[in-house]
Amino acid sequence: MEYLEKYNYWATSNTFDEATHQELEKIHDDENEIKERFYKDLEFGTAGLRGIIGAGTNRMNKYTVTKATQGLANYIIKTGKQDKGVAIAFDSRHFSPEFSKWAALCLNANGIKTYRFDTLRPTPVLSFAVRELGCVAGIVVTASHNPPEYNGYKVYWEDGAQIVPPIDGEIISEVNAITDYSVIKMMDLETAISSGLYNVIGEDIDSKYIKSLKKLVLNSEAIKNNAKDLKIVYTPLHGTGNIPVQTVLRELGFENVYVVPEQEKPDGDFPTVSYPNPEDPKAFALALELAKKVDADVILANDPDADRLGVFVKNNETGQYEMFTGNMSALFIAEYELSQKKEKGLLPENGAIVTTVVSSDLTKAMAKEYNMKIFEVLTGFKWIGEKIKQFESQGSYEYVFGFEESYGCLVGTHARDKDGIVAVMKTCEAAAFYKSKGISAWEQMDNIYKKYGYYKEGQTALTFKGIEGAEKIKSMMENLRNNPPMKLGGLKVLEFRDYLTNEVKDFRNNTTHETGLPKSNVLYFDLENSSWCCVRPSGTEPKIKFYYGVCTNSNEESITRLEELKEHWGSYAKE
């Protein structure tokens, strides 16, 4: 069996260190564990690496990380841009500092200069640093909001965005071409430093990043006038967001910022949460306790690499705290940005909003209201980053706002990835502005629904772990692809889009046409009564995800219709 051969090689070869040998010796009687670790190579996909930490070809470790880095180095050298260097950042997860250092030394051994942050930093700061330093690429070691046993490795290109075609495929080919771990080049730290290849960065980039965020403020007077009244509870969930968030809010004048003390310090075990994900209401348990004590207006949580933001706001009618979905928090910011820029005469005539195929349709109504061009892209913020680059290179549109439903948005173009720090800043600015008008954030969200319609969205994620789980997800996608349902949640399917085959079937007139987007394993169902559903496997977790959205004239009707779609997809868990 091939996986046993790989195991024996890793367990005995001098290519791997003694710590690896000892770890693998402990599982020598556990064939199932051996199979899980060695049945395949940890895939370097379009989002880089993401996996469980440990020894083995299907794990995150020194060797899989430096294999990816050697492939990246080979590609950079082929482009002739090795003199531009690579920026490197890391988060609070286990082995993040080590993986980032080994990646730097691998690049250094290939003659490529690196700029590695001195301590942990948010992902958007890495995106900012790539362009600020004029680097050819960037690496951030993070597994975002995954459980603590995971880590990951994401690659950015010189525009500050995650790699997209054709570059991603070309880098993947270089990584996959490495079949012998002994060819991976490494350099010791002292030699790398003395040769000028290994460079440490930190405060200078931080200050420039914060300065760029502050330039985006539209109503500093509203902040100033409500700084003493607006109460903010914040948690970095043991991650990277604490220092930059406190810095920017303090410098803008917010006085009542309460950080959850139990979650303030970085900790790769994430001891106070089962899952460090601001999409999960359970992650807010301690923040909600603190909010009730201080009577907070808003509660904000970043994920560990601080590119996402979760939000709770106070409902003054009930005294309870209500959670915003990722769509709601982004559109709360979007309506504030668009309305205030229009009022101040700052809206560009060629303005553009970029969103994803699984995000709220409310965006379309909002874009129409403010005469903005809307662009829909595939799931993943890298596609939004690509649009920003395209707008700039073509001189076609001016980027105004972009978001995806998974709690990520970007105001400004200082970064080319979702930015949870600027999202915190903008949420607080908007809350202060509306408070100056006597309106709470919750009331403003309801005002948005009253203005545009009651758009509601939901998501069902089913987890299937391991080899069997991967096959289960594959089978479910194939069945839906080959036998698309004609009704979902009692609603007729009007159009079926298969982004993998690049085909759209319009059942209203029995025609077909192309999707117009890159190929991706995504299925989309356009339903009657302004409703929709979308299905795709997660790119970072062993999950299949079902998205759905509706729009009606009342909150109650939208909730009912959404529940019917949720029940439909929930039934798949029983199959």
CA distances from 425 to 219, 245, 252, 254, 362 (A): 12, 8, 9, 10, 23
Q: Looking at 96, 144, 339, 406, which residue is catalytic?
A: 144
Q: Is 371 left (phi over 0), alpha (psi -120 to 50) or beta?
A: left
Task: Let me know how many helices (H) and strands (E) the chain has, helices first.
Answer: 19, 23
Distance CA 513, CA 504 (A): 5
Residue 246: closest CA among 238, 237, 235: 235
Strand partners, 364: none
CB 534 within 8 A of CB 489: no
Cis peptide leading into residue 348 (ω within 30°): no
Distance CA 148, CA 53 (A): 9
Listed in sequence order, the residues at least 6 apart from 103 whose beta carbon sits closer than 8 Å to its beta carbon are 65, 66, 68, 69, 88, 139, 141, 153
CB 239 within 8 A of CB 304: yes
Token pair in block for residue 235: 């948690």
Distance CA 106, CA 115 (A): 13
Q: Reply yes or no on whether 127 is catalytic.
A: no
Coil/strand/helix, residue 314: strand
CB 99 within 8 A of CB 49: no
Residue 89: closest CA among 52, 53, 129, 49: 129
Distance CA 446, CA 317 (A): 13
- Residue in the structure block whose two tokens are 């199932």: 32
Q: How far is CA 432 from the centre of its chain?
A: 27
CA-based R_g, the chain, Å: 24
CB 393 within 8 A of CB 271: no
Q: How many CB atoms lie within 10 A of CB 350?
A: 13
Token pair in block for residue 437: 């008008």
Q: What are phi and psi of 231, to 5 degrees?
A: -110, 125
Residue 90: closest CA among 153, 5, 38: 153
Alpha helices in 39-133 (DSSP H): 62-79, 96-109, 123-132
Q: What are phi and psi of 510, to 5 degrees?
A: 55, 45
CB 266 within 8 A of CB 120: yes
CB 144 within 8 A of CB 152: yes
Q: Could you give the maximum distance between any two Cα atoms of the chain, in Å?
A: 70
Distance CA 548, CA 525 (A): 9
CB 175 within 8 A of CB 68: yes
Residues with catalytic annotation?
Answer: 144
